[in-house]
Amino acid sequence: MADRPTRVLILGGGFGGVYTALTLEKLLKREIRDGRVELGLVSRDNYIVFQPMLPEVISGSIGLLDTLTPIRRLCPNTNLYTRGVDKIDLDRKRVSAAAGFGSRQCALEYDHLVVALGNVTSFAGQPGLAEHALPFKYLGDALALRNRVIHTLEEADIERDPEARRALLTFVVAGGGFSGVEAVAELNDFVRTAAKAFRNVEPEQIRVVLLHAQGLILPELPKSLAEFAQRLLMKRGVELRLNTRLHGGTADAALLAGGERIATRTLVSTVPSAPNPLVAALPVKKEKGRIVVGPYLELPDRPGVWAVGDCAWITDAKTGEPCPPTAQHATREARCAARNIAAAIRGGEKRAFSFTALGKMGSLGHRSAVAEIFGIKLSGFLAWWLWRTIYLLKLPGLDRKLRVATDWTLDLILPPDITQLKTEHPEGIRREHFEANEIIFREGDRGDWLYVLVDGEVEVIKHLAGQGDVTLRRLCAGECFGEIALVSDRPRSATVRSLTSVNVLAVDRDAFHSLFSNLPPLRGFFEQLIEARLKGTKDEMM
C-alpha cells in the first residue's frame, strides 16, 4: 500500500464536488505533498457556477464570467479532468471519462470515490418543452434567456402584425419556487428597462407571466413572506397565474393544463429535474432517484464510495429527516465527507452528518428580497442588502468578490446592457413540436428547413386561383416535406399544417446540402421524391 498513492476521485464540479476537494486539500496537505494521496476531480466545466447570482446574468448586472470561479484556482493541488463522465464501474473501481480533442478514452482508477453529480434538467413527458422551453439551471441557460429576451424585443420593434407582436412581448416563467421567482423578477426588471431603448415598443404592451401550480408562491418560506413577494411582483407588473400548471409548449405558445394557450416566444421552465443518468445507472440502493448513504455519507454496502449533494439521499443524524437539495447543505455534506475520507485514509474517528439550515433567501430584483434567517423574517430593502452581502461573502474566490462588487456598483449608475451576444453556431438539425392545427410553414415563406416527420400527421395545402385552398396530400411519420424550396431556392410552394400533435426534425439548408449532395444514395432518393411531387402538383393544378 505504501508503494502507490491512495487515489481519491471526485465526480462533479458543483458545490458538493468542489468543496469536498477543497476540504481534502486542507486536511491532507502533507499527504498530498508527499505523494501519498492523489486527488482527482472530474467536471464538465472548469469552473463552479455560483447559482444564486445566475438570475442577474439575465439582466447583465453581473458580468458573464463573474458568477464563475475557476476550479483550478480553488483547488490548486487537485488534478482536474475537464470532461464528462461516461461510465462508473464500482466493481473494478474505475471511471471512464469522455474524450477531449481526438477520441481517446481516459480511464481513472480510484480507492475512494465521491459521487457529487447533482441532477439534470428533464422535460420528459411534457410535449414540446424539450424543444421550445428554456431551462434555467446552468450559465448557458441564463445567457440563452438573456439573448432570447433581447431578440424578441428586436423583432417586436419592427413587427407590424399585432398578434405576432403580442407573442413577442409576452414572457412566461413556469414554477414559483425560489429559482422561478428570482428568474421572473430579474426578467421583468430587465425587459421593462431594456424596452426603453426600443423605439416602437410601448411599456404597456409587455406582459410577464408567472405560472405556479399551487395557491401561493415560494412554498419554502413562511406565508407572510410569500405574500409579500406576491404583492411586490404584481406591483412591478408581473401577472401571477396561481393554481395553474404548464402542460407543454410550441414555438409560439405556452400550453396550460386546462387547455388554455398563452401566445409567447419566451417560455422559461424552472420546474423539472431528474436524476443524473449516471446516478440512475449505478447498481446501488436509491430513494427517489438519490443514492442512499449511511450516517458518514459512505454507501452502506460499498466502503470507499461516498455521495454528497443533490444526488445523495442523506438522513440527518440528529433530526432523522432527509436533507434538502440546497447549496447550503451540499457544502456542509462535502466538508463532512472530506473529514471522514481523511479519517479513513490516515485513521481517526468518522463523524455522522447533521446540519440545520441557517436560513432561506430569495431576491426579488430591484433592491428587494425576502429572507428568513435564524427564524427571523425579513423583507424589502434590508433583506435585499443582506442577500447581497451574504452571497458576496459566500462567492468563492477573492477576485470574484471584487469583480461582482464592482459590477454591482457600476450597475447602480449605468443603463442595462442590451447587446445580444450570438455565439451559437448554425444549428444544423433541430427538433420541433407542433400541436394539432398549427401552420408549420406558409406558402410564399422563405424556405430554410427540410422537415422529417417523426410522428403525427400533416397536410399540404395550396392556394389555387378560383378554387381556394386545396389539400394536395397528407403525410405520416417517416415522410419528409419542405425539400422543394431548399433545392430550388424559391419561396415555399405550399402551406403545411399539422393534423395531429406532431414532432419533426428540421434540417437546415447548409446541413441538407452538404449531407445530401455528398451521399449519392440520399441524393437519388431526394431527386426522385422532388420529381414525383412536382409532377403531382402540376397534375392536380390542371
Our finding on whether 417 is near a second copy (CB under 8 A) is yes
Instruction: Mark residue 444 as left, alpha or beta (left: phi above 0; alpha: psi -120 to 50; beta: remaining).
Output: left
418 phi/psi in degrees, rounded to 5: -120, 20
Our finding on whether 453 is near a second copy (CB under 8 A) is yes
Q: Which three cell numbers stand for residue 269?
A: 421552465
Of residues 97 and 312, the one with the C-beta less far from a second copy: 97
Q: Which of 356, 389, 420, 437 binds a second copy (CB under 8 A)?
A: 420
Our finding on whether 447 is near a second copy (CB under 8 A) is yes
Rounded CA gap, 77 and 39, in Å? 7
Tell which positions 94-123 bind a second copy, by CB under 8 A.
98-106
Closest distance to a second copy from the beta carbon of 128 (Å):
16
Our finding on whether 158 is near a second copy (CB under 8 A) is yes
Closest distance to a second copy from the beta carbon of 117 (Å):
18
Closest distance to a second copy from the beta carbon of 412 (Å):
12
Tell which positions 11-40 bind a second copy, by CB under 8 A.
none
Rounded CA gap, 275 and 471, in Å? 46
Of residues 154 and 220, the one with the C-beta less far from a second copy: 154
Our finding on whether 284 is near a second copy (CB under 8 A) is no
The CA-atom distances, in angstroms, between 367 and each of 54, 126, 362, 376 are: 16, 35, 12, 19
For residues 504 to 523, the per-residue mask of contacts with a second copy, x marking binding by CB under 8 A and - elsewhere, is -x-x---x--xx--xxxxx-
**Stretch touching a second copy by CB under 8 A, among 92-100, 127-135, 223-231, 355-363:** 92-100
Query: Residues in contact with a second copy, total (CB under 8 A)?
Result: 91
Q: Which residue carries 481534502 as its cell?
A: 24
Our finding on whether 374 is near a second copy (CB under 8 A) is no
Q: Which residues contact 375 (CB under 8 A, 6 or more apart)?
A: none
Q: Give me the helices (H) in 4-160, please.
A: 15-27, 29-33, 54-59, 71-74, 129-132, 139-158
Of residues 25 and 333, the one with the C-beta less far from a second copy: 25
Return the sign of the alpha-carbon dihedral for residues 277, 281, 282, 286.
positive
Our finding on whether 443 is near a second copy (CB under 8 A) is no
Our finding on whether 50 is near a second copy (CB under 8 A) is no
- 181, 218 Cβ separation under 8 angstroms: yes
Q: Which of 92, 235, 288, 422 binds a second copy (CB under 8 A)?
A: 422
Our finding on whether 164 is near a second copy (CB under 8 A) is yes
Our finding on whether 454 is near a second copy (CB under 8 A) is yes
Of residues 227 and 479, the one with the C-beta less far from a second copy: 479
Rounded CA gap, 188 and 229, in Å? 14
Closest distance to a second copy from the beta carbon of 478 (Å):
5
Tell which positions 233-252 bind a second copy, by CB under 8 A.
251-252
Rg of the chain in Å (alpha carbons): 27
Q: Which of 107, 234, 382, 410 binds a second copy (CB under 8 A)?
A: 410
Our finding on whether 467 is near a second copy (CB under 8 A) is no
Closest distance to a second copy from the beta carbon of 226 (Å):
35
Q: Which residues contact 199 (CB under 8 A, 6 or more apart)?
A: 157
Closest distance to a second copy from the beta carbon of 153 (Å):
9
Q: CB count, 10 Å around CB of 168? A: 25
Q: What is the secondary structure of 182-251 as a DSSP string?
A: HHHHHHHHHHHHHGGG-TT--GGG-EEEEE-SSSSS-TTS-HHHHHHHHHHHHHTTEEEETT--EEEEET
Q: Which of 132, 265, 332, 533 binds a second copy (CB under 8 A)?
A: 265
Q: Which of 445, 473, 499, 530 binds a second copy (CB under 8 A)?
A: 445
**In a 10 Å sphere around its CB, with 0-12 CB exposed, 13-18 middle and 19+ buried, how is residue 515 labelled?**
middle
Our finding on whether 488 is near a second copy (CB under 8 A) is no
Q: CB count, 10 Å around CB of 489? A: 9
Closest distance to a second copy from the beta carbon of 448 (Å):
6
Q: How far is CA 467 from the centre of its chain?
A: 48
Q: Which of 2, 283, 375, 419 binds a second copy (CB under 8 A)?
A: 419
Tell which positions 135-154 bind a second copy, by CB under 8 A.
139-140, 143, 150-152, 154
- 452, 505 Cβ separation under 8 angstroms: yes
Of residues 102 and 320, the one with the C-beta less far from a second copy: 102
Rounded CA gap, 131 and 502, in Å? 12
Tell which positions 168-227 bind a second copy, by CB under 8 A.
168, 197-200
Of residues 73 and 462, the one with the C-beta less far from a second copy: 73
3-state DSSP helix/strand/coil percent for the chain, to nearest 5? 35, 30, 35
Q: Which of 90, 216, 327, 452 binds a second copy (CB under 8 A)?
A: 452
